[in-house]
Amino acid sequence: MNSKLGLLEPLESLSMTDRVENILREYFTENAFKPGDALPNELEIAQKLNVSRNVVREALSRLRMLGMIEARPRRGMIMSQPDLLAGIEKVLNPFILSQSNQKDIFELRLILEMGIAEFLFARKTQKDLDELELIVEKQKSLPVLSKEDEIEFHGKLYDMTGNETFQRFQSLLFPVFEHVFASMTNQKDNYVLVDPVSHADLFRILRDGTPEAFRKAMHKHLEVYYNTIKK
Amino acid sequence: MNSKLGLLEPLESLSMTDRVENILREYFTENAFKPGDALPNELEIAQKLNVSRNVVREALSRLRMLGMIEARPRRGMIMSQPDLLAGIEKVLNPFILSQSNQKDIFELRLILEMGIAEFLFARKTQKDLDELELIVEKQKSLPVLSKEDEIEFHGKLYDMTGNETFQRFQSLLFPVFEHVFASMTNQKDNYVLVDPVSHADLFRILRDGTPEAFRKAMHKHLEVYYNTIKK
DNA sequence: TCTTTACATTTGTCCTACAAATATAATAGT
DNA sequence: ACTATTATATTTGTAGGACAAATGTAAAGA
């Protein structure tokens, strides 16, 4: 009879908390709430929406977790600058992430790694290059590079992009990347294949070359990973 | 006296709800909870942690929002596959996002757009190319491309990567990208500059060329945006 | 006018209660 | 002994009351 409803049904099964959460976010958007603006107090919201204070608090608790609002005990609540990645951070658990999501994250790193060339060349400073050289020199003496060495070099590259979100995003994704690759290759950790393009090579190109050449080299450096994306 | 505590202080100011949320997530990770596994009931958790059921419910409400757990009324709670991007989605409100975050997102799109070349070439199918050609042909007859035309072409590219998360991620980021660019250029919408490299050019390269050539062309296509990243 | 005091406000936390639907146990019927 | 029905227990969702504690505000006093 109501088979026509189809996609509508999930909406009806929303709990009060879900609905209040949605209503609040819409309310903020439509009224152009900005960081620092004061919110109505919990009781007021509850009475206006005709729900219990419990429900309102459960919804507010979610927004607080995202950094969207801030509650100053006994002084009321205010809007705040949300933490863009707080939600993702809490969910990055290989045990519960779907295989599909894990694969997507694995690939996302490759995409990002190839896309940063322009930013590196546009924003590199002598100080950055000096620090990177130090890392490269240190690694030259090692017989094989550990996972940590990889992180140190690539992490420095993300720093150099000057994009804070990107930097943090990448550091969140890396453990998942590692986990996926490890489970694909079944290899014990701390063993990294010999690269046709070394960190030292990448460093030299970043110092003296072009974005174009850097991307080419980075692709070669990550070739072992790129070989996994053939459909 | 306790000035040495420094970074420790924020920890102490955590609410019970914050702490229970952390404890629960750690509990899930350490016990390797997988989707489908049953959780202890609310009262049990509350008693074990010596807090009220309210506090537990506020913490659980957060995890439910992230899709981490699922509550089946009157049957208990189970682990579930979290929605990787649910947290970000709710927070993408230009009014409250920091300028810095908005700029980061703007740049992130450029990074992604440049990084997908390998995936496009590795995974393109004849069907994809046909559909893309249709879009390009349609746009050829237009004097100027609207925002929607841009989304249609680039959106199809994201589809072709075969990476669902990436696809969705991109569609979430796009409005912010548009917002940032509009506020930078102060231009009214629906006006897109004439590109040195057209969508038709990109299509031809994707069909007959190499990832290398595609990246080069895409960079030229997005040059007007890339000009903003010079520090 | 300034200081002190009393009061009101508001979040954080705890408690109790109950509806409703499911799972489980108990009972009745054949 | 087995099935069908009924009763009971479980558990989330929601409501509502209570109070501590700290802050802001108003009132009172010097």
Q: In this model, does residue A131 exceed pLDDT 80?
A: yes
Please give the residue of chain A at the shortest CA–CA distance from B226: A118
Read off the pLDDT of residues A40-94 as tens digits, 9 standing for 90 and up: 999 999 999 999 999 999 999 999 999 999 998 888 999 999 989 999 999 998 8
Say if CB A166 and CB A212 are below 8 A apart.
no
* Closest-CA distance of chain B to residue A135, Å: 24
Per the CB < 8 Å rule, is B107 touching A166? yes
Reported CATH class of domain A87-226: mainly alpha
Burial class (CB in 10 A: 0-12, 13-18, 19+), B27: middle
CA distances from A43 to A40, B30, B141 (A): 8, 38, 58
Please give the residue of chain B at the shortest CA–CA distance from A170: B108
As ranges, strand C nucleotides with an atom below 7 A of a protein CB are 9-16, 20-23
Say if CB B88 and CB B152 are below 8 A apart.
no
Q: What is the pLDDT of residue B223?
A: 85
* Fold (topology level) of A3-79: Arc Repressor Mutant, subunit A (1.10.10)
Q: DSSP of chain A, one letter per residue?
A: --GGGGGGHHHHT--HHHHHHHHHHHHHHHTT--TTPBPPPHHHHHHHHTS-HHHHHHHHHHHHHTTSEEEETTTEEEE----TTHHHHTT--TTTS-HHHHHHHHHHHHHHHHHTHHHHHHH--HHHHHHHHHHHHHHHT-SS--HHHHHHHHHHHHHHTT-HHHHHHHHHHHHHHHHHHHHHHT--SS--PPPSS-HHHHHHHHHHS-HHHHHHHHHHHTHHHHTT---
Distance, CA of B101 to CA of A5 (rounded, Å):
39
Domain with CATH 1.20.120.530 in chain B: 87-226
- Higher-pLDDT residue of B222, B3: B222
Distance, CA of A79 to CA of A40 (rounded, Å):
11
Per the CB < 8 Å rule, is B87 touching A66? yes
- B75 CA to C23 C1' distance (Å): 8
Which residues of B are less than 8 Å from A85 in CB distance? 88
Read off the pLDDT of residues B176-215 as tens digits, 9 standing for 90 and up: 888 888 888 765 554 555 678 899 999 999 999 999 999 9
* Closest-CA distance of chain A to residue B7, Å: 19
Which residues of B are less than 8 Å from A32 in CB distance? 95
A62 closest CB neighbour out of B65, B98, B113: B65
Q: What is the pLDDT of residue B94?
A: 83
- A107 CA to D12 C1' distance (Å): 39
Which residues interact with strand C by a CB < 7 Å criterion? Answer: A 39, 41-43, 53-54, 57, 60, 71-77; B 15-17, 50-55, 73-75
Identify the band that residue A117 occupies on the pLDDT scale cut at 50, 70 and 90: very high
Mean pLDDT of B64-84: 92
* Closest-CA distance of chain B to residue A197, Å: 17
Say if CB B61 and CB A61 are below 8 A apart.
yes
Distance, CA of A122 to CA of A145 (rounded, Å):
28
